[in-house]
């Protein structure tokens, strides 16, 4: 297994994204290639899960756009991800907050985590 | 063709320069020692014998101990003969740097054993008819295995139930994605027969 980790470390390199988890509100800047031109699209929403490990790790971001729920799955090590910004860290009790899908309006809110641990903020 | 013995480490995936996610297998390849050289003069054909993996002295027969001693190396676990290779001499070490990134290799291994399997799993038969309408006991049966009194026998090679897997298999033309000479690792695109840790022969 260590050899696999070595290969993954070598090909993925170190990604310098901030640490985020389910419940956090983030903005993902995603590179989109149209022909020869490249532009950046920002997808802003709530992280509802992080899944997998190593090269295969992905995260799902959910937003409500015009009354319609939109979810997008990003591979964490995708070369198309330009940057990730954590707007708000949310306080939730589970790692996969799929219950958000059934909720709208007031009940779909997530409490903000106001006191962040010192070693977390260092990242 | 030159090649190396090694073992399968496992699978992962790698993003290519275009951003495509490529499924890959990580293999440990070599280092292998040339333990014997055969030539047209001595044996009637050209080949080299390479060895890989450490074997304990107490598990090695005296005859094999002598064989390894002649090549100036310690007892090894796996031996294989590569025909048509001439440019090496006894005692030479073959390392993973014989492979280039972007080249194509063949990987030979032993497939995972599936045990005694029926025809549905082993040969992809559809099974027989319905589960209901009076059908009984026949759901995954092979059906007819041939005509009756005319041949009065079953033809050879008729597909039936039996041992599946645990056979030698070669996957041809796998692209070399990465080579790590210091770690003796090679990363190829796609899958490779066998379980993790099983031994493989990687040849050009």
- The tens digit of pLDDT for each residue in A32-81 reads 888 888 899 999 999 999 998 888 889 999 998 888 889 999 998 888 88
pLDDT: is A110 or B122 the higher one? B122
Separation CA B141–CA B119 (nearest Å): 7
Cβ–Cβ under 8 Å, residues B137 and B118: no
Residues of A with CB under 8 A from a CB of B: 1, 3-4, 6-8, 10-12, 54-56, 75, 77-80
Contact between A1 and B10 using a beta-carbon 8 Å cutoff: yes
Give B3-113+167-203's CATH code, choosing from 3.30.420.40, 1.25.40.10, 2.40.30.10, 1.10.10.350.
2.40.30.10
Cβ of B10 within 8 Å of Cβ of A4? The answer is: yes
Separation between Cα atoms, residue A36 and residue B61, nearest integer Å: 65
If you measure CA to CA, which chain A residue comes closest to B187?
A7
Q: Is the pLDDT at A31 greater than 50, yes or no?
A: yes
Residue A35's Cβ-side half-sphere holds a number of Cα atoms within 13 Å equal to 1
**DSSP helix/strand/coil, A11:** helix
Per the structure block, which two tokens stand in for A85? 């910004």
pLDDT at A107: 83
Can you give the residue ranges of every domain in chain B?
A: 3-113+167-203, 114-164
pLDDT tens for residues B12-69?
Answer: 888 887 788 889 999 998 788 898 888 888 888 888 999 998 888 889 889 988 888 8
The CA distance from A21 to A27, in Å, is: 13
A80 to chain B, minimum CA–CA distance in Å?
A: 7
Side-chain half-sphere CA neighbours of B12 within 13 A? 27
Find how far residue A12's CA is from the centre of its chain: 17
pLDDT digit string, tens, across residues B90-116: 888 888 888 888 899 999 999 999 999
Q: Do A4 and B9 touch (CB under 8 A)?
A: yes
Cross-chain residue pair B14–A80, CB shorter than 8 Å:
no
Spell out the alpha helix ranges (H) of A1-123.
2-12, 118-122
What ipTM describes this predicted complex?
A: 0.73
Cα B33 to Cα A105: distance, rounded to the nearest angstrom: 69
- The beta-carbon neighbor of B9 closest among A3, A75, A79 is A3
Q: Distance between CA atoms of B142 and A53, rounded to whole angstroms?
A: 43
B9, B17, B30: best to mutate for the A interface, most A CBs within 10 A: B9
| Total Cβ atoms within 10 A of residue B178 | 16
Strand order in the sheet with B76-83: B76-83, B47-54, B32-38, B93-94
φ/ψ of residue B14, rounded to 5: -135, 140
- pTM (predicted TM-score): 0.80
The mean pLDDT of A99-120, rounded to a whole number, is 78
- Closest to B89 measured CA to CA, from B139, B132, B39: B39
User: Residue with structure tokens 């390199």?
Assistant: A13
Question: Could you give the angle at the alpha carbon of B183 between the alpha carbons of B23 and B22, nearest 5°?
Answer: 10
Place of tokens 């990580």: B26
Q: What 3-state DSSP class applies to A118? A: helix
Residue B8: both structure tokens together? 């399968």
pLDDT confidence tier of residue A123, bands split at 50, 70 and 90: very low
Going by C-alpha positions, the residue among B93, B106, B109, B108 that lies closest to residue B176 is: B106
């Amino acid at each position: 297994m260590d050899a696999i980790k070595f290969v993954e470390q070598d090909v993925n390199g170190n990604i310098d994204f901030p640490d985020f988890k389910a419940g956090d509100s983030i903005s993902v800047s995603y590179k989109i290639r149209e022909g020869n031109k490249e532009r950046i699209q920002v997808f802003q929403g709530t992280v509802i899960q992080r899944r997998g490990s190593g090269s295969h790790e992905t995260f799902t971001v959910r937003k409500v756009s015009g009354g319609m729920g939109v979810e997008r799955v990003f591979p964490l090590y995708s070369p198309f991800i330009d940057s990730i910004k954590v707007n708000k860290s949310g306080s939730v009790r589970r790692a996969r907050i799929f219950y958000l899908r059934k909720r709208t309006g007031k009940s779909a809110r997530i409490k903000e985590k106001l006191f962040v641990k010192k070693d977390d903020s260092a990242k | 063709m030159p090649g190396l013995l090694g073992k399968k480490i496992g699978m992962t995936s790698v993003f290519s320069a275009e951003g495509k996610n490529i499924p890959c297998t990580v293999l440990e390849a070599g280092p292998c020692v040339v333990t014997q050289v055969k030539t047209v003069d001595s044996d009637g054909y050209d080949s080299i014998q390479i060895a890989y993996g450490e074997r304990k002295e107490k598990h090695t027969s005296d005859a094999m101990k002598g064989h390894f001693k002649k090549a100036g190396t310690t007892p090894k676990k796996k031996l294989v003969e590569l025909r048509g290779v001439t440019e090496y001499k006894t005692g030479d070490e073959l390392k993973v740097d014989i492979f280039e990134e972007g080249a194509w290799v063949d990987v030979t291994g032993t497939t995972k054993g599936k045990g005694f399997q029926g025809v549905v799993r082993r040969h992809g038969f559809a099974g027989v008819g319905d589960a209901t309408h009076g059908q009984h006991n026949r759901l995954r049966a092979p059906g007819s295995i041939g005509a009756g009194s005319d041949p009065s026998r079953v033809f050879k090679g008729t597909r039936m139930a039996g041992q599946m897997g645990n056979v030698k298999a070669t996957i041809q033309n796998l692209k070399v994605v990465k080579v790590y000479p210091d770690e003796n690792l090679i990363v190829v695109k796609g899958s490779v027969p066998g379980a993790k840790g099983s031994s493989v022969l990687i040849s050009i």
